[in-house]
Structure 1
Amino acid sequence: MRVEKDLRSVTSCFLALIAGACLFAVDGRADDGPMAGQPPAEARKGAESKSDVSIAEQITRLQRTIAADEKQVSELTTEENNPESEFRKAEAEFKAIDERFNIEKEEIARKKEAGEEVGLKRLEEALAETEKARKLARERFDLAIQTRQTSQEQIKAIEEKLTQNRAALERLIGPATPAAPATPAAPPAPAEAPMTPPAPVTPAAPAPAAAPPVATPTAPPAAPAAAAPAPAVAAPMPGTQATFLGSPTAGDQAREKASQEVARAEQIAQEKQLAAEKALQTAESLSGRLKSLDKDIESQRKQLADARRRAELAAQTREVREREYQKIAEEGGLEETQAARTKKEEASEDVIKSQATVTAQMERLQELQADRAALQSEEFAAVSAAKERQIESIRAQEKVVSLKNPFALHNVLQWLLDHGPRLTLIVLAMFVLRVVIKVAMKRVVDIMMQRGFRGTYEESEDRAKTLVGVFQNAASTTVVAGGTLMMFEECGIAVAPLMGGAAVVGLAVAFGAQNLIRDYFYGFVILLENQYKINDVLKIGSVSGQVERITLRMTVLRDVEGSVHFIPNGKIECVTNMTHGWSRALFEIQVSYDEDTDRVVDTLLAVAKGLRSEPQYGRVILEDAEMMGVDAFGDSAVTIKFVIKTRPLKQWMVKREMLRRIKKKFAELKIEIPYPQRVVHHRGEAVSQAMHEAGKAA
């Protein structure tokens, strides 16, 4: 009996090793197939070699795959609903062993409480064996639950794949049915058939319009026939109309020829676009089928892993049944031995079935991976074809755009031949007019200045610069505006609507920009009345400075610190021009009360006369100094005022030099320029001194 036991143990170990080797071989083969992601080099080579798979082969493959998937869904559904399924068996086994485990446990607890030692050890050993069997049954039941869930997931994945495969099969077979009713509606197409021969232009197709819209697969065949006549009869494009406005006869012929060429290009572009859409739809369908197949493969892998685990548990269960059988055969009766032998044989059959299930799952996984490799090859070929169709569509659309584009080379050349000479004449006339205006404007300004103009040559020059700049800008603007309108008219752009729009805009501006119009009007009046000119020194409100620029809208001043002030002419209410015609240098000289004022006045006049006698200052001083005499008595000085009349802008130069000479002359003649001083009398000390003297007298 012992020898038989050892022989059975060795046999069990040998069978377990064989099963493990088979599972390892299956796992290695199952993991060799390509999974989702980028196709490997072999898959890409296969795709390149199968890029020209016929539609018949695709239909046959799809039908075979659909049949296999439907069969698998049916088997999985039947297995799930089968009362003799693994799930039901594992559930019943676990319940039975768990119930026996609880009974044995309660029996041991009862004997311990009663203090019975007889048979306690045998019960504890039996409980240990039952606990091991319970653990295996629980693992088997857990695995059956997991397998059931995986099976449900696989059913969903296969059903999704079935839906996509059926849709792909309908796309491949479906167009044959609508083709028959479409033929009666196609008679108009032959009428325009002469337009198709020039289609040999090999442009390839624009993807912009192909990618976003995905049309129904059955609609494209009828669309080109219905859409083809429209371009041929369509009116000429706006670009070509503007291109051929020159001669009536040659232009009409050129427009008709261009319209026919554009119609042919549009028809070809539509056909290319529909082909690109169909290719893109095919690629997207294959991509979706590939994703569904990946889900199916993933579910199949889980099924394979569950089957392997189920085989391991079956092998362990068989070992437990063999031990139970040996134990019962040594100690039990005939019926118990027969029942244990039956369980052992069932466990052995379960091992065989589990291994067969593993083999079937492996074969199914290999089939799925083979289908995936073939589908991946089809997807790669479909994606390449879709890219080619998109490129063809892009090129066809680019050709249409080029034909419609008025800035294309052939359109530009024709336009230049029709309108170039007249536009050149207009541009030359504008240039000549601007030159004439520039030359004649100075003469016109000279004539205007002869009426009531005052001042020196420099003032005349400044006045001329001011008027020439303003009037020349206005005349140039008028010439440019008129020439532009003539060019618009020559280019075929209607000027009358533009003028009407300009009138409306001008009216709106007149109401909305009254301040702007007032600025221009005030600027015109300032220039007309010659209130000030460039280089004059002004004081406008609280701002003072030299005039740098005058326009009809604003006056630009720069102050002593170099800051520039932009003053709108409409804001100018009062202007103080400190250099209009002539200027004065004002002097207020303070001397001490001790000095002789007559002597000081004579000295100041002598210094002013000496300054005028010098050539450098004599040409800017217009008259001798005008002495106004003693002007005021201050706290510590007497103020003597006099003025010197100078040319505009020269009063500050004369004043600075005059003050320098006065200071030097006063120092030479000892004439005192007093500092501010004040005499303070202290009355408190005088009162106290008087009281002190009165006290002494008393």
Structure 2
Amino acid sequence: ESERERQAQLEGEQQAKKTEFNELTEELKDLGARLAAEKKRLEAIEADSEEAAELRNQIEPLEQEYALVMQHADLALRAGRILGEQTRRLKQKIAQDSQVLERLRGTESAEARADAGDEAAAAEQPEAAPPAPAEQAPQSQAASSPERQETAEQIEARREVEQKVAEAKRAEQAVVEYVERKQTLQEQIALAKQLIDTDEQSQDNAFELLHRREAGLEAQIQAGAKAAELQASQREVRKLQGTIEKLNEGIESRTERLSELHEQLHTLTEEQLLVVQGARLKREEAEAARRRSAWFESPLHPHNITHWAVTRGPSILVMLATIVGLFATARIATSLLARMLVRPAQRGDAARAKRVETIAVSFGGAARIIIVMVGALLLLEEAGVDIRTVLGGAAVLGLALAFGAQNLMRDYFSGFMILLEDQYELGDLVTIGEVTGIVERANMRTTVLRDLEGRTHFIPNGQITRVTNRSYGWARAVFEISVAFHEDVDRVMVLLMELAREMRKDENYGPDIIDEPLMLGVDDFGDAAVVIKFMMKTKPDKMFPVRREMLRRIKNRFEQEGIEIPIPKRMIVQQPANDT
């Protein structure tokens, strides 16, 4: 009620200032008219005359009085504006206090209604019925995937979080309201100080104006002015005295009001500290309740772990057993598939078994990767994890790998075809591109060759476009024997075939020769020899030993038979230079 009374008082003071301003405005009009008339008379007479000097003496105090009245009117207008602003701020403060009061009343009534409702519900609640048997549960629930059931602790924790969060929000709202009220109060203090300063300036101005009016009245008395003029001057003096008295009372009352506002600001500041502290405690309680609820909701909570193990554990175990069974099935299936794809080897069952094993291992690795990936996704889904995000990430990763591993996939596919077609195997003498060597290692990714100088060459299978295998199935030792032109070539050919047949009967080299030697006959005429050509078919890896042994025996027999192996000769004829 005191705030309402203060508002009415401020509105009354504002109206009084407005009336005072209007009166001063009328007085300024009268003084302005008188001052204009006197200045007009001064302009009409000579400037150096005595009458002009007397008029100037009369105009000067009129101008000073006009300035004082104008200043007084400006101060009155300023005071009215300050009073209007102060009234507005006071209305704002009253509205804020009313809002806080209504909120507190609304909160208390809501809590009372909630308590009353709980009591009524407790009073009207019937006795707890016995739990329904499990057979009465809907079939759809039994068929659907088990959902996590909330415990009483989880429900209570969630309600506590909601309650604490609501209390924290109310506490924060109270802090905001206290800040706004404090700001409004500070603005009221600033306006009260401005109003006191304005009243003090108005009082000084009124004192100065009063002194002039009293001096003018004294001059009128001494000059024997008319009674009507004296009464008018006396009324103006009394009016100024009343104005000064009102200003003095206003300054005193506003000073007291300013002290009260300072006390209210001090009290409000202390209350604000308590409210801020309470809001901080409410936030801490809400955060503690949220952590407690999060712990009850956490998958690591013992109850949730137990529930998860009971509801999802059996299906996960069945799935794991299925994955293990798929591993065993994939091992058998890939082995059978490899045997079906690999054709019988020309070099025996051992070579075919190696190729089957290599392809089966490759197929098995790919099958295991697929089983692990699909099984992991199914296990994650069964465990309650949303696999849509995982599938999105896997798609992006697969796309990146597809672009980055094109050459790698080409190497593996080429390696698979090499093994499937039995192009070469370990120990074969092959030529790949410009590299010739023994195959030391061949897998789905690379082929490793070691040349005659012992250097190792790693060749990606995707770069192999042509393979020359000198150890595939069988080999052929080709001999080009040069004899002198004067030798009997028929005799030489018979001798060479006898040596070849003897060697085929040899216990050490005979098993390595798989067919009768083939004489081709005279193949070429060289510069100094006749070239006789014949061939011997050998096992793939025995061509070089057979060839070296055969050349050794030919050399020894030719020496015994006196057959000349010509040596290339070059004759240089040098003619002497002609003397001139």
TM-score, with structure 1 as normaliser: 0.48
User: What pairs with 1:139-538 in structure 2 (closer than 5 Å)?
Assistant: 139-177=75-113, 179-180=115-116, 183-186=119-122, 262-333=150-221, 334-402=230-298, 451-453=345-347, 468-478=357-367, 493=382, 524-531=416-423, 538=432
Alignment correspondent of 2:19: 88
Distance 1:86 1:313 in 2: 14
2:466 maps to amino acid: T
Within 2, Cα distance between the matches of 1:193 and 1:338? 98
Structure 2 SS opposite 1:365 = helix
Aligned residues: 439
Cα distance per residue 1:1-26 (max 9 Å; x no partner): xxxxxxxxxxxxxxxxxxxxxxxxxx
Letter of the 1:474 counterpart: F
Given that 2:312 and 2:382 are in contact with CA atoms closer than 8 Å, whether structure 1 keeps it comes out as no
Whole-Å separation in 2 of the counterparts to 1:265 and 1:464 = 65
Greater RCO structure (CA 8 Å; 6+ sep): 1
Matched, 1:113 2:13: no
Instruction: Give deviations 1:549-582, integer Å, cap 9, x for gaps.
Output: 9877x88999xxx9999787xxx9x942245648
Q: Amino acid of the residue matched to residue 19 of structure 2?
A: R
What one-letter code is carried by the residue in structure 2 that aligns with 1:314? S
Contact 2:72 2:205 in 1 (8 A): yes
Q: C-alpha offsets along residues 152-204 of structure 1, whole Å, 9 cap, x if unaligned?
A: 2442343244223322322123432465456444568676799xxxxxxxxxx
Secondary structure of 1:453's aligned partner: coil
The amino acid across from 1:300 in the alignment is Q
Shift of 1:470: 3.8
Q: Which residue of 2 aligns with 1:595?
A: none
Amino acid at match of 1:296: T
Contact 1:101 1:134 in 2 (8 A): no
Report the CA distance between 1:452 and its aligned residue.
0.6
> Matched residues in 2 for 1:406 and 1:627: separation?
93
Distance apart, 1:396 and its partner CA:
2.9
The aligned amino acid for 1:345 is: Q
> Share of identical aligned residues, percent?
15
Question: Partners in 2 of 1:407 and 1:545 — Cα distance?
Answer: 67
Q: Is the 8 A contact 2:11 2:83 kept in 1?
A: no
Alpha-carbon shift at residue 114 of structure 1 (Å): 0.9
> Offset of 1:450 from its aligned partner?
7.4
How far apart in 2 are the matches of 1:418 and 1:361? Answer: 80
Q: CA 1:370–1:68 in structure 2 vs 1: closer, same or farther (change >3 Å)?
A: farther
Alpha-carbon distance, 1:416 to partner: 12
Rate the CA distance shift 1:122–1:192 in 2: closer, same or farther, 3 A: farther
SS in 1 for 2:151: helix
Contact 2:28–2:69 at 8 Å: present in 1 too? no
2:550 corresponds to: none
* Rounded Cα–Cα distance in structure 2 between residues aligned with 1:76 and 1:95: 22
Once the two structures are TM-superposed, the CA of residue 113 in structure 1 deviates from its matched residue by 1.4
Instruction: Determine whether 1:135 maps to 2:71.
Output: yes
User: Displacement, 1:386?
Assistant: 1.2
Tell me if the contact between 1:328 and 1:336 (Cα under 8 Å) persists in the aligned partners: no
Q: CA-to-partner distance for each residue in 1:298-333, whole Å, 9 max, x for gaps?
A: 331232122222221232123213321331233024
State the AA in 1 paired with 2:26.
A
Q: C-alpha separation between the residues in 1 aligned to 2:233 and 2:62?
A: 16
Question: How many Å separate the matches in 2 of 1:263 and 1:375?
Answer: 41
Gaps of 5+ in 1: 1-66, 195-234, 243-257, 503-508, 585-597, 599-625, 631-646, 649-667, 672-698
Structure 2 equivalent of residue 576 of structure 1:
466
* Offset, 1:286: 0.8
1:124-176: CA deviations, max 9, x gaps?
A: 13312321332232133233224323432442343244223322322123432
Q: CA deviation at 1:393?
A: 1.5
Relative to structure 1, the CA distance from residue 342 to residue 545 in structure 2 (aligned partners, 3 Å threshold; closer, same or farther) is farther
Q: TM-score, normalised by structure 2?
A: 0.56
Deviation at 1:539, TM superposition (A): 5.8
Q: 1:471 to 1:307 in 2, by over 3 A?
A: same
Distance 1:523 1:354, change over 3 A: same
Per-residue CA distance 1:348-369 (angstroms, 9 max, x = gap): 2133222133224314413531
The SS at the match of 1:175 is helix
The superposition leaves residues 90-113 of structure 1 with CA deviations (integer Å, 9 ceiling, x where unpaired) of: x22441343244224413431331
Q: Give 1:532 shift.
A: 5.7
User: Deviation per CA, 1:46-96, whole angstroms, max 9, x where unpaired?
Assistant: xxxxxxxxxxxxxxxxxxxxx45444445545655x4xx22332x224413
One-letter amino acid of the counterpart of residue 186, structure 2: E
User: Partner residue of 1:643?
Assistant: none
CA RMSD between the two structures = 6.1
* Equivalent residues in 2 for 1:551-570, closer than 5 Å: none
Q: Partners in 2 of 1:416 and 1:288 — Cα distance?
A: 50
Offset from partner CA, 1:390-420 (integer Å, 9 cap, x none): 1342243133214676896666888999899
Paired position in structure 2 for 1:59: none
1:315–1:351 Cα contact (<8 Å) kept:
yes
- Quote how far apart the aligned CAs of 1:269 are: 0.8
Who wins on radius of gyration, i.e. which is larger? Answer: 2
Q: Secondary structure at the match of 2:466?
A: strand
Alignment check: 8 A CA contact 2:164 2:289 kept: yes
The answer (yes or no) to whether the contact 2:217–2:233 under 8 Å persists in 1 is yes
Question: Does the CA contact (< 8 Å) of 1:282 and 1:382 recur in 2?
Answer: no
Gap change, CA 1:549 and 1:102, over 3 Å in 2: farther
One-letter code of the match for 1:329? L
Contact 2:203 2:248 in 1 (8 A): no
| Aligned partner letter, 2:43 | E
| Aligned partner letter, 2:254 | V
Q: Distance in 1 between matches of 2:160 and 2:273?
A: 24
CA deviations on 1:639-692 (whole Å, 9 max, x unpaired) are xxxxxxxx99xxxxxxxxxxxxxxxxxxx9899xxxxxxxxxxxxxxxxxxxxx
SS at match of 1:366: helix
Contact 1:293/1:368, CA 8 A, preserved across alignment:
no
Instruction: Please give the secondary structure, in 2, of the residue aligned with 1:332.
Output: helix
Structure-2 change in CA distance of 1:357 and 1:269 (3 Å): same
